[in-house]
Structure 1
Amino acid sequence: MKLKPVGLFVLLLLAGGRLWAAQPKVFLVFPLENKIGNPSVGWMSEGIADLIATRLASPTRYVLQREDRDDAYEQLGLPREAPLTLASEFKVAQALGATVPIIGHFTLAGDQLTTSVQWFDVPKLTLSKPIVVTGKLNELDVLETRLAWRLLKSQDNNGIEGNETEFSNRFPPVRLDAFESYIRGVLSTDSRSRKHFLEEANRLNPNDHRAAFALGKFYLDQDDYTTSAKWLRNLSPGDRDYPEALFILGIDEYYLGQYGPAEIDLKKLVGIAPLGEALNNLGVVELRLGHYDEALADFKQALRKDQDDSDYAFNMALALWHLKKYDQVAEFARKALAQDSDDLDTHVLLAEVSGELGDSVTRQNELSWISDHEKAAADDPPVESMNNGNSGNTSPSLPDPTPRMKKDYDAKDFHLASLIMARDVRRKLAEQPAQAVRAEGETHLKQGLTLLAAGRLPEAERELTQATLLLPNSSEAHQALGQAYEREGKHTLAAAEFETSLKEKDSYQAHLWLARAYISLKHLRPALKQAQAALELEPSSIEAKNLAEQIRAQLSGLRDKP
């Protein structure tokens, strides 16, 4: 997939940057240098970086992905396989707008793994002291979670909630063999190896959907829409890549002629991340379904987000054509041509609408242009045409323009929404009186609770996120957002919100919900501790007693396994 220039997202993120209380942190984890030189564990360079990156990420911390880093390597002419010099890593960090680049190395002696990392201050050109962890290789995820915690504490001792144990409990255990297969798959340069390793990763750990997502993207690039859709349907709302998966799934279903399912998936996406590309593709599907008014509304929203996109303007003109609003068709066709003067379909559309408007001069000019630039269209027109009986025009039939789907997109856009929301809230905190901020926070909380009760989880999440940003000390807001996350399957985020809620106020419900989140994350002993804490607050609670017994039964079953 084609991506936008690698540093562009920083302009979006920091637009109005003076409004931030502090510059947002953008993390970039480089592959760790393999100090032992054994190529059989070369996958660990990327694997350790991946584990650290996933643990650093949060709704208010942006972590650049491997694909972003690879784009920068390509633009700067740097090799992906060999370790970079510190100077080259600095150039990559600058190109990506990273504020906290992280470098390091690992060694392996028998089954003892040692990981050492440092972060460097880009403006000051200084390196931090090394942060080192050592332990058994089969506890790779535990070690790198500990390392991520120490990294965050070294960055901002007061800016991270909870303690190291609570932080570790937010992440499910990693199955090492499946993880190794996944990393080998994403690093493979040939199709056969990539498919083999990713399919093996999914077989070994079907509950981790990252391999399924990678396979969905792989098959989309091969234009194998059926297989792409099959893999992408494995993802659920709790997956980080779920919004991007919905976008690709909408493309797959559109090209398979499955317009109904495509409309459903793209509407879900627009509810989560109303990006211009998503709104455009939803509009295209609605055009195919004959929902012209809905399509027009979506194209309008897309065009508001990017006035210079000729595809959005063209699709607007096409929707207006179907609605027989011919004056506006001409307006948006000309707007599209102002961006791309050689667009045949737009010239066809302008020729046709000029005929409907009785503008024979423009029509003839457009027909002449089409004849000069595309002889085949004039000499051998298709049977179906835009001259479908709407007028008495007797000119030669012209090809029907096709609405334009967006297959190219910037994956970063799917993950920036929470940071942009936080930026906007900080602006309100800086500009509005405290009483007005609290009133707005209470409004978002009330709306979020109503949506949560109605099961409208993405909308509830959006309202409750606003509430927690505006009311950071509200136990109720954090607990409600945790419930939305937990019901969506976002267990790591849910656990963090319940922990924050409990720090503000000790409550039966928060302990019970945190116990459920820990069960989902397969941390049974911490889950039992939370269930017991709930029982201490409400000793007669049947629900808490049953949950505690359920956890004890699971722990007993684990002990009984050979």
Structure 2
Amino acid sequence: MLSTLRSALLLFFFVFGSASAYAETLLILPFENTSRRPEYNWIGEGFSELFADLLEIPGLRTINPDERNLAYERVGVPSTAILTRATVIKIAEKANADLVLIGSYSVRGDGRDASISITARLIDIREGRLVGNEYSRGGQLSDLQKILGELAWTLLYRRNAALPFSRDQIVSRATAVPPAAFESYMKARLTADRQDKVRFLNRAVREAKERYPQAVFYLGQVLYQDGDFEEAVKWLEKISPEDPNYPEAAFYLGVSRNNIGEVDKALASFSGLMQRLPLYEVYNNAAAMYVKKGQVAQALPLFKSAAETAVRDMDVQFNYGYVMWQAGNFQGAVEQLKKVVERRQADGEAQYILGKSLAKLGRNQESAAAIDKAKRYLNQFANWETTGKIPVLVRIKPQFNKSAYYQLRRGSAQTGAADASRLTPADEALMRARGYFLANRDQEAINELNKVLQSSPDNAEAHLMLGRIYERRADYPNAVNTLKAAIFWNPRLTAAHVLLGRIYTLQNNCDQAKAHLKKALEIDSKNTDALALKRIIEANCDKR
């Protein structure tokens, strides 16, 4: 049934897909419990979880609850808060959503006689209007998943009556796990108590006879976060490569395997991820496993790539300097480790390896100064000096940038549908560039953006992103040129005006800074970045 539905969805995209290059993005917010019965609060989050799965079809991308919660954090709102319309719009903007699904529900009665009534509304954030009428459903609470499946079908059908799959197929997906397992899983998602989370998740997995991938993944993730790596491995390795959560599961699996001494298996996890999850944290961890296996030559290019990307991550910068020391490139090690100790003077390990590298170059006075600092900050200093045995010092990244991850997932999903939606090579390159940019992989982003601009020199977004990268690298002349190009092609590009204002302020060119601030505020007087620039200019220019 499921494979038939997927085939139908693919056919739908080819025949009825949106004419635009990108799918619309839908944010589903937790529905409000108006019955004032807190024992049913889990249902509100259940709407978000299940709709995020059911409404994800070619041409419509949904934002899952974890990605949604990142938007809540950016706005500074608790995920359990009752939202005003203004706050809904702010969260949607932070999540880059085009559409928002909101609603409420009320539960009446108890036990087998309990019933539920649901109201849902779809809002187009771009136009600030309600899409169609309200959607209403109701029935026995025991049929909750079926009701949600029927409501999902109605939402899809009203947007496009040419759906090539039936109501029964959507309902079948909605009811794929037993109701008791769904309830336990949603209660685990909501509770803040770690023991309760594990208890609810074990119950959900047991009730579904382990055929509940979301619950299996979340259980592995919670155990990982708790530091129970052996148990985490047992669950995370059950996630199949076809599962949407596989990249995240494989990352946690790699770290867990390293922490229980399974270096070969950890290397296999990270090596297999480098194409699918091209984040610097993955490259760093794969390189670290090579070092642990004594394969320094294989580690060097991976650490180099990670260090060039994560210029502000001192653990990654240390790793690159450390592995150059291991490889006998003492000059390179010195240059790299000096970056670390300039930012982290109390990093005893960095001071120690820096001192040893300087000694190899005959720079004895500098070496003595670094070793003296290592003696002050490194607890193991005496042991290392006495025995001459230095343990493997590579530093593992236990987490990765979630914003970059979701951007890459979004780009991969859209690129995977490229043939159907007839994306141009420039469209595909721009998608990849967005992912690389958020992952701080600047050079790869620049390569993709140059491809875009070769075929579409009027692409203002590409010029803007290129300007952001140059600004991040402190390459201000190139940043100014590319940002001016962005404004030439789109004079109302607020972000480009703000960036130029910041750069001109740094260069003490206050007249130009104020001119671009004025333009930015004319376009959007409430833009937070423009208002922040105004404060910077007032502090740096108006006092002169």
Q: Which amino acid aligns with 1:294?
A: Q
Deviation at 1:52, TM superposition (A): 0.6
In structure 2, the residue corresponding to 1:63 is in which secondary structure? strand
Map of 1:311 onto structure 2:
315
Note closer, same or farther for the CA distance 1:352–1:383 as it changes in structure 2 (3 Å cut): closer
Map of 2:260 onto structure 1:
256
Q: Which amino acid aligns with 1:316?
A: Y
Map of 1:381 onto structure 2:
383
User: Quick check: 1:121–1:127 contact (8 Å CA) kept in 2?
Assistant: yes
**Which whole-Å deviations, capped at 9, do the CAs of 1:275-332 have from their partners, x for residues lacking one?**
2111111111111011212212322332344343322222122222222222222232
Deviation at 1:33, TM superposition (A): 1.2
Q: CA RMSD in A?
A: 3.3
Note closer, same or farther for the CA distance 1:309–1:57 as it changes in structure 2 (3 Å cut): farther
Map of 1:214 onto structure 2:
218
| Distance of 2:423 and 2:48 partners within structure 1 | 35
Q: Is 1:27 the equivalent of 2:26?
A: yes
**Which whole-Å deviations, capped at 9, do the CAs of 1:205-241 have from their partners, x for residues lacking one?**
1111222222222222222211221222222223221
Q: Which amino acid aligns with 2:42?
A: W
| Distance of 1:340 and 1:118 partners within structure 2 | 51
| Distance of 2:122 and 2:405 partners within structure 1 | 26
User: Quick check: 1:52–1:147 contact (8 Å CA) kept in 2?
Assistant: no
In structure 2, the residue corresponding to 1:42 is in which secondary structure? helix
In structure 1, the residue corresponding to 2:123 is in which secondary structure? strand
User: Quick check: 1:112–1:134 contact (8 Å CA) kept in 2?
Assistant: yes
User: Quick check: 2:217–2:236 contact (8 Å CA) kept in 1?
Assistant: yes
Percent identity at matched positions? 24
| Distance of 1:369 and 1:258 partners within structure 2 | 34
Q: Which amino acid aligns with 1:107?
A: S
Map of 1:402 onto structure 2:
393
- Describe how 1:154-553 pairs up with structure 2 within 5 A: 173-205=176-208, 206-337=210-341, 340-371=344-375, 373-374=376-377, 376=379, 378=381, 380-382=382-384, 400=391, 402-421=393-412, 422=414, 429-430=423-424
User: Quick check: 2:250–2:269 contact (8 Å CA) kept in 1?
Assistant: yes
In structure 1, the residue corresponding to 2:371 is in which secondary structure? helix
Deviation at 1:35, TM superposition (A): 2.6
Note closer, same or farther for the CA distance 1:286–1:131 as it changes in structure 2 (3 Å cut): same
Deviation at 1:24, TM superposition (A): 5.0
Map of 1:105 onto structure 2:
104
Deviation at 1:75, TM superposition (A): 5.2
Note closer, same or farther for the CA distance 1:258–1:383 as it changes in structure 2 (3 Å cut): farther
Map of 1:441 onto structure 2:
none
| Distance of 1:186 and 1:147 partners within structure 2 | 22
Note closer, same or farther for the CA distance 1:312–1:234 as it changes in structure 2 (3 Å cut): same
**Which whole-Å deviations, capped at 9, do the CAs of 1:234-291 have from their partners, x for residues lacking one?**
2222322121111111111111111011112222222422221111111111110112
Structure 1: gaps of 5 or more residues? 1-19, 389-398, 434-562
- Describe how 1:70-89 pairs up with structure 2 within 5 A: 70-74=69-73, 76-89=75-88
Q: Which amino acid aligns with 1:127?
A: L
Structure 2: gaps of 5 or more residues? 1-18, 428-544
User: Quick check: 1:31–1:49 contact (8 Å CA) kept in 2?
Assistant: yes
| Distance of 2:346 and 2:161 partners within structure 1 | 57
User: Quick check: 1:117–1:130 contact (8 Å CA) kept in 2?
Assistant: yes
Deviation at 1:414, TM superposition (A): 4.1
Note closer, same or farther for the CA distance 1:264–1:99 as it changes in structure 2 (3 Å cut): same
Note closer, same or farther for the CA distance 1:377–1:150 as it changes in structure 2 (3 Å cut): same
Deviation at 1:382, TM superposition (A): 3.6
| Distance of 2:341 and 2:20 partners within structure 1 | 43
Q: Which amino acid aligns with 1:269?
A: L
Q: Which amino acid aligns with 2:84?
A: T
**Which whole-Å deviations, capped at 9, do the CAs of 1:139-168 have from their partners, x for residues lacking one?**
43333233334434555778x775656656
User: Quick check: 1:59–1:418 contact (8 Å CA) kept in 2?
Assistant: no
User: Quick check: 1:118–1:127 contact (8 Å CA) kept in 2?
Assistant: yes
User: Quick check: 1:62–1:416 contact (8 Å CA) kept in 2?
Assistant: no
User: Quick check: 1:60–1:419 contact (8 Å CA) kept in 2?
Assistant: no
Map of 1:51 onto structure 2:
50
Note closer, same or farther for the CA distance 1:250–1:83 as it changes in structure 2 (3 Å cut): same
Q: Which amino acid aligns with 2:278?
A: P
Map of 2:520 onto structure 1:
none
Note closer, same or farther for the CA distance 1:293–1:149 as it changes in structure 2 (3 Å cut): farther
| Distance of 1:430 and 1:151 partners within structure 2 | 30
User: Quick check: 2:50–2:174 contact (8 Å CA) kept in 1?
Assistant: no
Map of 1:465 onto structure 2:
none
